[in-house]
Every structure is written in structure tokens, then in C-alpha cells.
Structure 1
């Protein structure tokens, strides 16, 4: 996928200098950190080129042009450690002392007007999480493994799900070809009949919680009965896992098979995230995957690290979940 903007050297240096001025730690007090980034905007310190890029992303989403965008040569911290994959979260907190990447993601979210979301039982409730190959999940179907991932939404089984996901390449080894796939929900709809869509809009499907979620909350097993298709083209679906509920009619199972066929036929976008790339895409109005196209050094490939945020579509979408905020922190929910 081609970037909509590649920052020049001077642009990157200018934006990095602004982000370095945010002297707050997002892992100690996210709200304080978020306000500090907002102050950068209020003082008019955001470079015009970046404000224009974010305006284009907003415009593309609003007009239906695209729900997936790439920026290249984005600001990163000067010192990016290789994380200890036994406990990468603790290692990051202990060794990462600057927060340029986090400030960049927060600035992007504020300019695109998509408030961030976090889960209290994941990564200590952090709003900036990591896509890394945690050793104990090797080979498992979770974003925190070294495996491929089928087409899915993040947190399919959970009642509160992000509208958009941002992935910032912190350390993406050259020579390892790992792609993030994306299929737009509108392209899936084009391969489904009206009756199949009607069945998919009925609450007659279930999705098991992923292994990482279960490890963080032992009470989680399987979702409530839910529809797969919502809004105009939002899909709540984890391929190979979402199934018809035990008492669902045959028509539900037929519609599920039709969706599987549509997923094969629909047009798809794939992007290989490089160090310094920002890849942002719809989590509900599309499905995404991880494809390990060519791995030349498995140990090196396992060091891939993406900094990640979840975001609501807009302020109104966030406010619909205001009764779920935990510890008074806006955007932090439980399971």
C-alpha cells in the first residue's frame, strides 16, 4: 500500500522537536499526557503539513474514499530497545524513558478527532500497547504471538471495540516480510445477497475470547450472542472462530458460509509495515490479518515491535460508553 504522505527529513525533524517538548509519561498518567499533547495543538505548534495530512485522513473517512492510510518516515524515539519477549510490557516500562512515538500517536488521534480507548485488564490499562511476539503465546492465534492471524476485528468477543486501530513501526527488521492485510466492509457486502445480509444482522452468532483475554480475565469464555453485520458495513467476525450459536437455524450457518466465501473473493489491501511507518485502518468497518509472507530469520522476525492504539470513531462514539469508564479515566473500560 502506498503512503499518502512520506515525511521529508526536515518535516520529520520539525515534528520530532515538537513531540519531544511533551514532558509527561503516558504510562504514569495518561490523562496528564493527553492534556500536554492537546496543549501543543492549542499553542499552534503543530506543523502545517501534519495538520493537513490529518485533515485528509478525516476527509477520506467521512466521504468513504478510504478507511486505511499509511504515513512513512514518522517520528520515533532515538533509543528503541529490543524488548525482552518473556515480559515485554515490564521491560518497556523499565527501559523506555522517552515517549516520542506515544506523543505522535496521541497527536494523530487528537487531530483526526478519534479519542483513544484502553482495556483495564490489558497491559496495565495502558493506552499505548505493543504488538510483539510474547514467548508464552508462540504459535497461538493472538496478536501477541509470532504466528499468522486470520481476518478478524480486534477484540471481536468484547462488548466495547475500537472503531480504528493505529500501528506504528518501532522495530521492523529488514529482510522479514510480514504484511498486515485489510479488507473493507463495503467490499464484503458486494459479495453477499440481501437475505445473507439479513441473516448476518440477526443476533445468532458467538465468538470465543482469545487466549490473551482469557489469561487476563479467567471469567471470559465466549461472547454474548451477537450479529456479525452491524451499521452499514461493520463486521464483528473472527475467521475460523465466530460460529452460529448452538440454537441458531440452518439459515444462520448458510449465511456464515457465504461470508467465508465473500472474504475469499473480496478485494484486499496489504501493507508491510516498516520502521517509522504508521498504518491506520478501520477495526469494525473492515477486517484485518497478519500474513508472514517470507521469514528468513525466525529469531529476527520475532523482534518485530509495533506500538498500537485503539480509537473511537469520534467523540459521540466514545460518549456512548461513558458509563463504562473505570477509575474516572475517560476511554478506559473493563471487559
Structure 2
């Protein structure tokens, strides 16, 4: 495949840092309760060792860990779930799962190593202005379908955000005076694409047709843990065609599918660029399911920019969790996962 046509040119608790080793029992998908046992010094935050943990759909937040908690308040209340790691890439999934547990009555403690919600890929402020750090092209704000994870997470804790719909995702400036706008409206996008490459019209329609086939299959499923067997069986019996479609395209990449229908090197290079800007890999390294989700959701749900910046997403979700009775702790870094014979360990 041709190379790309371009070159890369809440409050913060300021308490003394202490170190605690916390061990957990092996967490499997049951409703069994577990207790933490403290193996560190007494003092600030020692009662954290009395937490109880629920395993949930094989997505237990705490897998067994040695925690470096530099800003822990003393607490004696028993919590149900310990969650850590909520940076920008995992933000929608992690917060969605946390909020689902919160609304079901679980008390969640979220440990964030950074000083603000969203981690180091959140935002910063200078002279009254707020600047994004990391991605500013946000998927997941749609009000329809099952892939709108941010909308679902916000709704679960009673929060919402004003967003500004973006009429175009990207404006490409490519060699040979080729300029391509990725319009929010799919028909407009396809019309412009086929006008630039009229000899590849059928190939373009077939390639993006496959993208929509994969996207529609994924969007029809309720997204839960892939480690939960019951979820797999239920989804298969409810949506057998969609599940088989995803299984068929699971081992395939976007580059091979594109080459099946398209021969023009410049157009293939453009599809390379489409994949590269969202994942820093070209089409041959881009899984077809992932490529389809990105290339179709920008038209299905659209790209929406939250008013106040993307840092407001994490702030809103964190506020919602706290309002529901759970807690956020900052500068609480998980430094190690303790395992014994391949399993997380604990003592009653």
C-alpha cells in the first residue's frame, strides 16, 4: 500500500505522602465479598484497608495492587469498588462502568494519580483560558445507538453537557492540490469523495459499505465486558447475524479490505491517512472493526465538541460520581499489582 501523502513534522488533599501495600483475593466474576488487609504503617488513610470489594462482570476495578496514595484522608466507611486509571483513552469505558455500579447502589472510590479528573491528558488553564491536552475530536456524544459511551455515562449520574456539533471532522490538504473535507453528512462526504475519484466510485461505495455493515453490527449490541460468557451467549442468541459479522471481520484489517475494492494509489494513501490520524497506524495495521467505528460514527453520531473544553467531560463525570455518594482521590498512584501464581492474592 502506498505511503502516506504527508510527513509528521474537587478538591485536592495536600497531605503527606505515605505508602501502603494492599492485597486482594483473586477476583473472579462472582458476588462474593472480599476484604483488604493492611500491611503498611498506621496513620493517615489506614482505614482504606477495611474496604470490601465486589467483583463485577469480570471487570473488577482493583485486581490486587500496591498503592502509593499520597493524598489519602482517614476514612472508616466501607466501600464496594476500588477503581483506578481514568485517562482520556479509557475515560468513557471506565467511568461508564463506575457510574453503572454507582446507580446500582455501590460505593465507588476512584483513585487518580494526577491532580485533576481525566489524568494528565485532561486540560490546563492559563490567564483565564482553558486548553485541551490530548484529543479534541470527541466521539461518544450522540443521543442514539449504543456507542455513545460518554452520553450514557453522563446520564447515569444525572449530568449533561452542552456540545457544539462540528460540521467537518477533518480538512485534508494532500499532495497534487487534493483537498478533501470529511463532512458530518455522509451523503455529502461520499459525493465529494467520488467527485475526486470518479473512476473509483464503485470501489469507494463498496469499501464504505463494508464499514457501515461492521458499524451497524457493533452498534446494535449492548456493550459490556468481553470477558463475561453469559453476555456473549445472550448477545449471540439475540443478534446472531451481527455477532457472526463481527467475528468474520475481527481478524481483518482496513488495508486489506480497501485493497480488495480500490486500486488507485492516491485514494489508498488517503485511507491510510484516515486511519493514521486517529490511531497513528496505517490501514494495514488498523483493525477493520475499529476503523469502521471511527469512519462511520463521525457521520452517525457526529463529532461534538463540549462547551468549556474536553476537560469538562471528566469533571462532569467526577462530580456526578461524588453527588451519588462515591469519592474521588487525586495523587493516588497505583504503582504495582501483586500476583501469586498468576492470580491476585488476599487474606481475610
TM-score (norm 2): 0.26
Structure with the higher fraction of residues in helix conformation: 2
Structure showing greater Rg: 2
